[in-house]
């Protein structure tokens, strides 16, 4: 699935991006003047071009040296996005807002036509599963859905479903924001006891990024190790690389072709904003992300059955893919996928955009050391505190914009403790440094534990002989990913 790699967002960040572009341009010229090594110059030019692309998407303007950005009036180069001062920009490539509190998700529900996850649905999930709802549900981190009541109806009638989520592997290391859908998906798999398929869209990254195809596949392998380290049921989880699986599964490719036949170029232009200058690979890719929504794409798992519905936990920016999928599903004889939508995990610098794998200072990576985590949070995490201790004690801090508190809502499971921190910070009893320390003390052991689990994943390449597959209780689902003999199909 796609990931947004935004370094800035909205008009107040455009100048910062402009200044970075100017500095990078100066660096390229200096390297050329100094006759630096070719690979060093090439890397600098590559970054310059990436910054120019991001600048165009964020501002709607081409970068011109000596001409600072005017008022931001349009954004994405891919995607029909909005661009007035009051509008949030959300599509598979761009997430941006001028509001320090972040995206207005209630407005987004109306714009996308999804349904809000209300207390009634949360209570029903608890009744059906017999489990306390995940804190991502209780706190509105997963805030929107499509057809979740239909999934629960089927489950109560002893009809199963399967989970589908994914990752667009654009770099070797994932960051903590990438964990959010996987943490929730793991909980769903445990409480409903259902199969899971995870798509690694290495083909998509090759089409959209300036990367070699071998790099994209290598990133998929590395990201796969982090995904496995989340602890999914190895007997009910299938992780696959598009670059590998497309050539080995006739059922998958047949569904891709069916989807392609039933979606017109005008439709994908309207949904994704593709232009005449986009390569045909981009135009056809949405069908590839749609195909795992249908059980017949995995005949080795579901014995060729077409009637098993999927439930897709994903960030809300992926919804355009699945609106298209839901539209085409009945026309090719499949059930519409149901969805859970999550909010975005904010960058350290603030909630105007989500955490980016392209900016090391905006992200806490799963490879970061305890010292790096501490330094990043202390130095870069946007604070909702006041300028002086005296003012903070008197007026208190603003948890609505404080990034450290936002991160705690994701990773501190104790509701009472979180509420106490909120009250103490809002009243001024808790200082910004103390709030950051709470977050550091949670993230350091969490990431260290993840790194230890990842070390158990010794290899992630197709073995000469496929591993023995253990049958599960669901329609012959097989184990394809034992921890010590990992296998991307």
CATH of the domain at 49: 1.10.287.10
Q: State the DSSP code for 193.
A: T
Instruction: Read off the CATH number of the domain in which 400 is found.
Output: 1.10.240.10
The answer to whether position 165 is within a domain reads yes
Q: Tally the C-alpha atoms within 13 A of residue 111's C-alpha that lie toward its C-beta.
A: 19
Tokens of 196: 């899971």
Q: What is the CATH number of the domain that holds 260?
A: 3.40.50.620
* 52 and 140 share one domain: no
For residue 477, being part of any structural domain is answered with: no
446 in the same domain as 321: no
Taking the whole predicted model, whether its pTM rises above 0.75 is answered as yes
Q: Which residues of 373-396 are buried (b: 16+ CB within 10 A; e: fewer)?
A: bbebbeebbbbbbbeeeeebeeeb
Residue 350 to residues 71, 200, 315, 340, 368, Cα–Cα distance (Å)? 21, 28, 18, 24, 20
Strand 338-342 and strand 310-315: the pairing is parallel
Nearest CA among 335, 289, 341, 326 for reference residue 161: 335
**What is the structure's pLDDT at 16?**
65
For residue 98, being part of any structural domain is answered with no
Residues belonging to the chain: 489
CB 215 within 8 A of CB 223: no
Residue 156 burial (CB count, 10 A) = 11
Q: Is residue 450 situated within a structural domain?
A: yes
User: 115-124 contacts: CB < 8 A, separation 24 or more?
Assistant: 115/144, 115/145, 115/146, 115/148, 116/143, 116/144, 117/142, 117/143, 117/144, 117/145, 117/148, 117/340, 121/145, 121/148, 121/149, 124/149, 124/152
What is the phi/psi pair of residue 83, to 5°?
A: -155, 30
Domain of 434, in residue numbers: 347-455
Q: Tell whether 305 and 204 lie within a shared domain.
A: yes
- How far CA 47 is from CA of 337, 459, 476, in Å, comes to 38, 31, 48
CA 153 to chain centre: 28
Mention every residue, 6+ apart, whose C-beta is less than 8 A from residue 68: 15, 18
Tokens of residue 68, six digits: 């600072």
| Residue where a domain terminates, one of 289, 314, 343 | 343
Please tell me the total count of domains within the chain.
3
Same domain, 60 and 78: yes
Same domain, 286 and 247: yes
CA gap 257, 192 in Å, rounded: 32
Give yes or no: residues 248 and 199 share one domain: yes
Cβ density class 413-434: b for 16+ within 10 Å, e for less: eeeeebeebbebbbebebbbee
Among 386, 429, 424, 379, residue whose Cα is nearest residue 405:
424
Assess whether 159 and 293 both reside in one domain.
yes
User: Among the three residues 42, 70, 86, which one is the final residue of a domain in this structure?
Assistant: 86
β pairing state of 237-241 and 196-200? parallel
CA 16 from centre of chain: 24
- pLDDT, tens digit only, all 489 positions of the chain: 644 333 333 444 566 677 777 777 877 887 787 777 777 787 778 778 877 877 777 777 888 776 777 644 433 344 444 333 446 778 787 777 777 778 899 999 988 899 999 999 999 999 999 999 999 999 999 999 999 999 999 999 999 899 999 999 988 989 999 999 999 999 999 999 999 999 999 999 999 999 999 999 999 999 999 999 999 998 999 999 999 999 899 999 999 999 999 999 989 988 888 888 899 999 999 999 999 999 999 999 999 899 999 999 999 999 999 999 999 999 999 999 999 999 999 889 887 666 666 567 778 999 999 999 999 999 999 999 999 999 999 999 999 999 999 999 999 999 999 999 999 999 999 999 999 999 999 999 999 999 999 998 865 544 333 434 444 333 333 333 332 233 333
H or E element at residue 283: helix 280-290
Residue 103 and residue 13 in contact, taking contact as beta carbons nearer than 8 Å: no
Residue 41 lies in a domain: yes
186, 319: one domain: yes
22 and 37, same structural domain?
yes
């Amino acid at each position: 699935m796609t990931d947004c790699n935004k370094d800035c967002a909205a008009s107040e960040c455009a100048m910062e991006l402009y200044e970075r572009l100017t500095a990078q341009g100066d660096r390229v010229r200096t390297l050329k003047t100094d006759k630096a090594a070719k690979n060093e110059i090439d890397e600098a030019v590559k970054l310059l071009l990436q910054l120019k692309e991001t600048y165009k998407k964020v501002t709607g303007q081409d970068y011109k040296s000596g001409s600072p950005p005017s008022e931001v009036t349009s954004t994405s180069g891919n995607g029909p996005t909005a661009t007035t001062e009051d509008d949030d920009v959300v599509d598979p490539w761009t997430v941006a807002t001028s509001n320090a509190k972040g995206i207005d998700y209630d407005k987004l529900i109306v714009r996308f036509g999804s349904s809000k996850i209300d207390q009634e649905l949360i209570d029903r999930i608890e009744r059906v599963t017999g489990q306390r709802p995940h804190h991502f549900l209780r706190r509105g981190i997963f805030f929107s859905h499509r057809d979740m009541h239909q999934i629960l109806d089927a489950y109560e009638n002893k009809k199963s479903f399967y989970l589908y989520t994914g990752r667009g592997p654009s770099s070797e290391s994932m960051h903590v924001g990438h964990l959010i859908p996987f943490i929730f998906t793991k909980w769903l798999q445990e409480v409903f006891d259902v199969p899971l398929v995870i798509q690694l869209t290495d083909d998509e990254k090759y089409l959209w990024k300036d990367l070699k195809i071998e790099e994209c596949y290598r990133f998929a392998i590395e990201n796969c190790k982090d995904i496995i380290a989340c602890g999914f049921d190895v007997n009910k989880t299938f992780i696959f690389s598009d670059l590998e699986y497309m050539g080995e599964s006739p059922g998958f490719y047949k569904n891709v072709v069916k989807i392609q036949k039933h979606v017109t170029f005008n439709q994908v232009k309207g949904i994704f904003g593709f232009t005449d200058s986009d390569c045909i690979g981009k135009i056809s890719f949405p069908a590839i992300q749609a195909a795992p929504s249908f059980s017949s794409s995995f005949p080795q798992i579901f014995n060729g059955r077409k009637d098993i519905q999927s439930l897709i936990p994903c960030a809300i920016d992926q919804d355009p893919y699945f609106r298209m999928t839901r539209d085409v599903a009945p026309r090719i004889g499949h059930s519409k996928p149901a969805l859970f939508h999550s909010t975005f995990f904010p960058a350290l610098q603030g909630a105007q955009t989500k955490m980016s794998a392209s900016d090391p200072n905006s992200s806490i990576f799963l490879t970061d050391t305890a010292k790096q985590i501490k330094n990043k949070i202390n130095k870069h995490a946007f604070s909702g505190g006041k300028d002086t201790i005296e003012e903070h004690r008197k007026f208190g801090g603003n948890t609505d914009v404080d990034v450290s508190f936002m991160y705690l809502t994701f990773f501190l499971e104790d509701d009472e403790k979180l509420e106490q921190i909120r009250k103490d910070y809002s009243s001024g009893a808790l200082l910004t440094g103390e709030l950051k320390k709470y977050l550091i003390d949670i993230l350091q052991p969490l990431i260290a534990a993840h790194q230890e689990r990842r070390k158990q994943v010794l290899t992630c390449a197709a073995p000469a002989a496929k591993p023995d597959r253990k049958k599960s209780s669901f329609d012959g689902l097989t184990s394809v990913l034992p921890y010590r003999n990992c296998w991307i199909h």
